[in-house]
Structure 1
Amino acid sequence: MPYLLLTLSALFWSGNFVLSRGMHAEIPPVSLAFWRWTLALLIIAPFGLRRVYEQRKLLIQHRRFMLWQGILGVAGFNTFIYLALQSTTAINAVLVNSCIPIIIVLISLLIYREPLSMRQSIGVFISLSGVLLIIAKGNINTLQQLTFNQGDLLVLVAALVWAFYSANLRHYPAGLHPITYLTGIMLTGLVFLLPCYLFEIQSGKHIQINIETILTISYVALFASILAFICWTRAIREVGANRAGPFIHLMPVFSTILAIVFLEEVLLGYHVQGMVLVFTGIFITTFSFRKQKDLS
């Protein structure tokens, strides 16, 4: 079950990457982040606010954890991604974003002293190889021709933010309901996003209201915000950040599939080879092979 939840998270976030890049001219980055979480909060409020009130003592007790998770997961990560996609390509963004599993491993090791087994290291390497194969379109020389700009650095910052958010979930308070948690970090994150949003408006950047922008904000609010965060949070609490990290490598796989389905792109051999490597790496990382004891 947790691995299905991680897979769904990667799928929902893949759509977020595709839409945010495609609509970057119509929706300013901070505006997309602000209205995404505002709409998500409105959707979850009928259930979440009551739970926040019921568990207010637990939230106050763990207020520092909630504060950091709201800053990192709500106000930080996607805002940096949206800012980055104003000036970088989707290929570069996916490439840099694929560093997240490695960063999670380093944070878990250096800060939380959580070691990575040899099997998990091999799995991360294999899945990352699959990502690079897809991005390189089967030709390693393609990677050598990639150029990086300020947007790519912002994606790297976003990757660091998300790695800290994921690793910090090890401190998730016992007994805290997932809806309470999500509502709490939304409220915290929006407090920090509001002044940034007002500053963006003052600078003359506004959303172009049309059916495409409304559908985009609705998708990222429901799927990439509420559902993906619930799935990711619950799964990491069960399997840990190190095992969950490689599932980020599913994002370029799903992005490729979405492009084939909705943009009528062609499925090529390197797509299949890259997907096989990604799934192989995830399988090695997440599943253990234990010899059954001889009961005779």
Structure 2
Amino acid sequence: MQSTVISQNPAASWLPYFLLTVPPLCWAGNIVLARGVIHLIPPIGFAFWRWAVAFVILAPLSWGRVRRDWPTVIQNWKILVALSLLGVACFNTLLYVAVHTTTAINGALIQTTMPAIIILITLVAFQESVRFLQMAGVMLCILGASLVLLRGDLSTVLNLSFAQGDLLMLLAVISYGMYTVLLKKRPDMHAMSFLTVTFGAGALMLAPFYLWEACFREPVTFTRDVVLSIVYVAVFPSIVAYFCWNRGTEMIGPNRAGLFINLVPLFASIMAMIWLNESLKLFHVVGMCSIVAGMSMFNRIGGRT
């Protein structure tokens, strides 16, 4: 019914595409901001306060729904803990640690492999069939990410001199890929309840690591820039991006929506060049084209099945 309304109303036909453009813009800003404030705020503290503030914002808005869904939360606590660990605690903490030793452009490009990694995990976990051309698209995407990891230098394979941040970013993407696959087992509860519970659980998981970092490494100093950065990542890459992504995917379907993740490197590259004075190199462009071509191939074939 929703798709019919959209197709019959030309003024609303652009809405899902606008909604799906917002999350990559927010996520690109998250990577660039994390890279820009690495000397101001430690990574675990940044991740902890991101989710803690997001939870504090959501909790008053969703408390009634959370109370109604609480029996479902208790009954499905194991899957909710797993989702909170992979998608909230691990993913963003690894990302924030990674940007200490990689560029924002590299981080954004590696993040575009997420759709391909999700496909591979689903293939292994659920034995879902994948067409040859779809797999070719996945391989193109992985090839593009490999080019970024190698920094355009094939001799890196022989020397095994990957940047630590690149590998941590890849681990972050794999973590979020596992989270996305586990969403197939998400309990039947309101979206607001789900986000509130997983955000809160993720913050609780990070709390002991945050205390360790604050006591033995570096405490968070709440300057104006730090507070504004935390508020940004709590509101836009967390709450706004999740709601826009979920609604846009509902309107046009996951296959077509998945391609929008490839806007992350475009937005991040522009932001990094403007605010961080990073340079865009040839291997970035070739890797980006390979990733976009691979995901376009998969989504084109996948959309027909």
TM-score of the superposed pair, with normalisation by structure 2:
0.78
**2:45–2:220 CA contact under 8 A, matched in 1:** yes
Q: Report the Cα distance in structure 1 between the residues aligned to 2:207 and 2:232, rounded to whole angstroms.
A: 21
User: Residue 213 of structure 1 aligns to which amino acid in structure 2?
Assistant: V
Distance change >3 Å, CA 131–CA 159, structure 1 → 2: closer
The alignment status of 1:66 with 2:88, answered yes or no, reads no
Aligned to 1:40: 54
Aligned to 1:294: none
Q: Report the Cα offset of residue 59 of structure 1.
A: 1.9
**Superposition pairs of residues 273-284 of structure 1, within 5 angstroms:** 281-284=294-297
Q: 1:11 aligns with which of 5, 19, 25?
A: 25
**Superposition pairs of residues 189-268 of structure 1, within 5 angstroms:** 189-233=202-246, 239-240=253-254, 245-259=258-272
CA deviations on 1:182-215 (whole Å, 9 max, x unpaired) are 0010111111111111111111412233332222
Distance change >3 Å, CA 33–CA 226, structure 1 → 2: same
Q: Report the Cα offset of residue 49 of structure 1.
A: 1.9
**Superposition pairs of residues 77-88 of structure 1, within 5 angstroms:** 77-88=91-102
Q: Report the Cα distance in structure 1 between the residues aligned to 2:286 and 2:163, rounded to whole angstroms.
A: 29
User: Residue 183 of structure 1 aligns to which amino acid in structure 2?
Assistant: T
Aligned to 2:124: 110
Distance change >3 Å, CA 63–CA 4, structure 1 → 2: farther
Give the number of aligned pairs: 287
CA deviations on 1:33-79 (whole Å, 9 max, x unpaired) are 01111111121121122211121122223222211111111111001
The percent of aligned pairs where both chains have the same amino acid is 38
Q: Report the Cα distance in structure 1 between the residues aligned to 2:25 and 2:184, rounded to whole angstroms.
A: 23
Runs of 5+ consecutive residues of structure 1 not aligned to the other structure: 291-296
Distance change >3 Å, CA 108–CA 8, structure 1 → 2: same
Runs of 5+ consecutive residues of structure 2 not aligned to the other structure: 1-14
Q: Report the Cα offset of residue 262 of structure 1.
A: 5.1
Higher helix share: 2
Q: Secondary structure at the match of 2:126?
A: coil
CA deviations on 1:83-108 (whole Å, 9 max, x unpaired) are 12223333443344343233211110
**1:128–1:278 CA contact under 8 A, matched in 2:** yes
Q: Report the Cα distance in structure 2 between the residues aligned to 1:269 and 1:150, rounded to whole angstroms.
A: 21
Aligned to 2:179: 165
Distance change >3 Å, CA 88–CA 265, structure 1 → 2: closer
Root-mean-square deviation over aligned CA pairs: 3.5
The alignment status of 1:94 with 2:97, answered yes or no, reads no
Aligned to 2:9: none
